[in-house]
Amino acid sequence: MRTVERGAPSPTLVRVEDLEVHFPVRRSAFGPKSGVVRAVDGVSFQLRAGDVLGLAGESGSGKTTVARAMLRITDPTGGRVVMDSLDISKLGRAELKRFRRRMQMVYQDPYDSLNPRLKIGTTLEEALMVRGVRPSERTNGVRHLLERVGLSGAYALRYPHELSGGQRQRVSIARALGVEPSVIVCDEAVSSLDVSVRAQILNLLRDLQETERLSLLFISHDLSTLRFIADRVAIMYLGQVVEIGGREDLFDRPLHPYTLALLAAVPEPVPRSQRRPVARLTGEVPSALQPPGGCRFHPRCPIAEDICREVVPELRRKAAGHLAACHLVPDAPPIGVP
């Protein structure tokens, strides 16, 4: 069992409010706009200092777009991302450059994100340069970064292709650490690794997070991975958060029918006697171009009622620290009422 007990919630580091990312779609390259993909449609959550927030959802849920909008790789079309009382979505170019040091991203495929022509040491030195580390201290700095991610200093002289997938992902993490960010966003950072290597990288992230109080936004389609790494988890469906809560809330007391279906669909490597009965979700995720009215999940929901087809459910407090957007889950009593 995990021994770390947390006291009062830490202060909020990043506040995402009503974030919207809508992409115009054209039938042909120069034609008129024919529609809008609502990739992210009113998403709000808070990332607390020293916390790991997991973001889960199937393809098309908008989880990666949320991350890209937070880092301003994609410009949001609405809402705010607030960090250090600055609205990131409104930063100008110079301010944006300063901000980028505060938030770093680790991608799924380290093949794509490391420059194949640069030695590992050179890649890491660049990160130290961004932070203003003096040239005389950079060699030491590189060795220290490598050691923090469990690699020996000798790796500084190697090229990315000489490393295994797991080692390359360690280097990506070292590079992110190099600028001393407040937040690291991991986008499916362990998904393409072999199972045995994946555990090593998850342990590394967990250790770094605990010893250095890193704040992570950890995006993954794999709920088992999130149960291990995340303190809080948000479940997204078609551009919206349908449920958010602490790890135990979400995995032991899930509320939203979509979360229940997702959990039931995860195949577990256990003998038949320990397997849970499965309830299958029918159909596939509809297009974000024309999301269903009312609750977006209603066409696939096994318990949908009339109200679900007509009224959009709000994300509401269903228990302490546990929010869900479902008409059929009763709200928690207002605070102060026994």
Partner 1 sequence: MPLLEVEELAVSFETPSGTVRAVDGLSLTIERGERVGIVGESGSGKSVTALAILGLVPASGHVTAGRLAFEGDELLTRSERQLQRWRGRHASMVFQDPLSSLNPFLRVGRQVAETLEVHLEMSRAEAGRRAAELLARVGIADAGSRLRDYPHQFSGGMRQRVAIAIAMACAPELLIADEPTTSLDVTVQAQILDVLAQLSTASGTAVILITHDLGVVAGFCDRLLVMYAGRIVESGPTDAVVGEPQHPYTRGLLESIPRLRGPLPARLRSVEGSPPEIGALLPGCAFAPRCPLAMPVCLEETPRLEPVPGEGQAHRVVACHAVARGYVPVTGTGNGEVAR
Positions that interact with partner 1 (CB under 8 A): 1-4, 58-59, 164-167, 194-200, 202-203, 206-207, 221, 223-225, 227-229, 247, 251, 261-263, 265-275, 278, 280-282, 284-285
115 or 203: whose CB is closer to partner 1? Answer: 203
28 or 274: whose CB is closer to partner 1? Answer: 274
Least separation in angstroms between CB 128 and partner 1: 27
The sign of the CA dihedral 100, 101, 106, 112 is: positive
Least separation in angstroms between CB 336 and partner 1: 33
210 or 314: whose CB is closer to partner 1? Answer: 210
Taking alpha carbons only, the member of 225, 191, 235 closest to residue 58 is 235
What helix, strand, coil percent values describe the chain, rounded to 5?
35, 25, 40
> Exposed, middle or buried by CB within 10 Å (0-12, 13-18, 19+), for 200?
middle
- CA–CA separation, 280 and 328 (whole Å): 20
104 or 240: whose CB is closer to partner 1? Answer: 240
102 or 170: whose CB is closer to partner 1? Answer: 170
Least separation in angstroms between CB 57 and partner 1: 9
Least separation in angstroms between CB 198 and partner 1: 7
- 334, 320 Cβ separation under 8 angstroms: no
- CA–CA separation, 215 and 211 (whole Å): 11
84 or 210: whose CB is closer to partner 1? Answer: 210
Which residues are within 8 A (CB) of 74 and not within 5 positions of it... i.e. 6 or more apart? 21, 65, 68
